[in-house]
Structure 1
Amino acid sequence: MIELPPLHSAPNQAELLVTHEAIHPFVHRTPVLTNRSIDQLAGARLYFKCENFQRIGAFKMRGGASAALRFSPRERERGLATHSSGNHAQAVAKAAQILGVPAYIVMPHDAPRVKVAAVEGYGAHITYCNNTPRERQAALEEVIAERGAAFIHPYDDYGVIAGQATAALELIEDTEAVLDYIVAPVGGGGLLAGTALSARYFSVQAEVIGAEPEAVDDALRSLRSGRIEENETNQTVADGLRTNLGERNFPIIRDYVKDIFTVSEAEIIAAMRMIWERMKIIVEPSCAVPLAAILRHPETFQGRHVGIILTGGNVDVDRLPF
């Protein structure tokens, strides 16, 4: 197993390559799929990086493994801790299971049951709290004080960013065509920041565009204002994109992301249904936001080669939005 050094700034090209090698035992190299009928509707050639087939069902496994490997064995032996309503919780729990150490996860009472069940299945200890940033943080601090566990932030962590960057790195390597754009959803910004770094270091010409729901458009407003903006609500079907940008993520996004497109709730649901019906794969609502953005902006993507990160497939099939 490769131990990784802590990162104190945005990862460079060499650090991304070492991260990719180190997390290999923890992750799958997920496929890149295409679909002719969706290409025709979009007027572009689309390449879907299917992180819904990743271990724990989401790209978050990459960042969780990368961050966990940056603690020393002595730091890890008392466990790994985080707060998350879903996919990051599963990633930390699974990384801890692989490393043979405890996991302590703070989750809100209203977290999706399918994700709670998965965290439990990986043997993690769950502490429940009300779904507010303040109460999540308070519960986490109590757990860390009691257990002495090492904290892995869901997105505002250079180690997490380095891990998430490996999805786009593989997309670039595994796509025969030279990509003109890579589109990734943005919530806290770990994936989008990592995608931007991989495009900068490993792509010939790809520009990166973020996609987010109109209801939680803090990333777009932050890009325009030059400072981190916050959302007044978290009410969107794309539950993985409800968080505000992290302080480490924003400068990377500001410097290397070309633009951020927003989409309506109806467009998200329609794009999600399109992927289910035409590609015959399960994706969660957050995954569909990039496709919705591409369909909404044909003037940008017409005739282009476009990579899309499909972020995960952990969806409660008893509560589909369509």
Structure 2
Amino acid sequence: MKLDDFDFDLPEELIATRPARPRSSARLLVAEGPATRDAHVHDLPTILRPGDRLILNDTRVIPARLTGTRLRQSAQGPVTARIEVTLMEPQADGTWSALARPLRKLALGETVVFSDALSAEVAALEGGLRLRFNLAGEDFDAALEVAGAMPLPPYIAGKRAPDERDREDYQTIWAARAGAVAAPTASLHFDEALVAALGAAGIDFTFVTLHVGAGTFLPVTVDDVTTHRMHAEWGEVRPKAAEEMNATRAAGGRIIPVGTTALRLIETAAAEDGTMRPFEGETDIFIYPGYRWKIADGLVTNFHLPKSTLMMLVSALMGQERVRGIYAHAIAARYRFFSYGDASLLIPSRI
């Protein structure tokens, strides 16, 4: 299975840099079995079945992109320089792993100042950058909220800088548990009106948590995709969530994750027979064609990057040829792509 098997040509003008407003007005490509049709996200209450259960990721994106000033003493006196940092994840020793630009100019032990309240010492460079901040807990969260910006994906950040509007746009309406440095973007299409309409239509909801890491944007660098190794992300399926999913399956309802993050988590937590179990820990599950599905019956998801692990995931769900047809339809019909783009509802023929 080669990387080029998951490539396609995408016109650059179809890459969305702002989301639809209102959120649920985004377009929705419905691919159910062999049929494909065009709709909008706000049509989901009439498309899904009563008794279906949507699985929602309640992670909260932190403003993980920071701009600071390096402070270092030299023989000639203090040396200052601007540096951009993107936080990755907290470590057990209290430091944060991070990406920095330019990394090569950082020195062990020097200080980076991000605001009057927030600074960090370079605690490690070998094996990846680690920063030790001057604040912790709620004090750190409050200072980061002021100093940081939303960590927009590279294909948006390369076109424009994050702004105050992104603090709302790049966060789901149910975001509760801080820790992600990328949004579960399929969930960005849901607003209060849609959630109410889905509930009135008999659609159930279950919340799980997967803290999406910056590794979600890392490219696949191997030609044989089966040798790729995924980054690990922390997730939790609480006992109540497991009970809800098992009850839905017992009643004949469908389990439909909203987003690949929720899907990867529940496929990690489920037993081989599809029974959902409580789970807490890291997952590095890599889903590609040939994967044996345990619990997910479908997926609400955006349109993904060529040659990405997420293209491999949707190909595993729907079949590679079917996905090629779905994406060809989306491009011809001028759907908007990637994090701020339109959505698809994918229900494979096996359901």
TM above 0.5, one fold?
no
Higher relative contact order (CA 8 A, sep 6+): 2
Which structure is higher in helix share?
1
Larger radius of gyration: 2
User: TM (normalized to structure 1)?
Assistant: 0.32
Higher strand share: 2
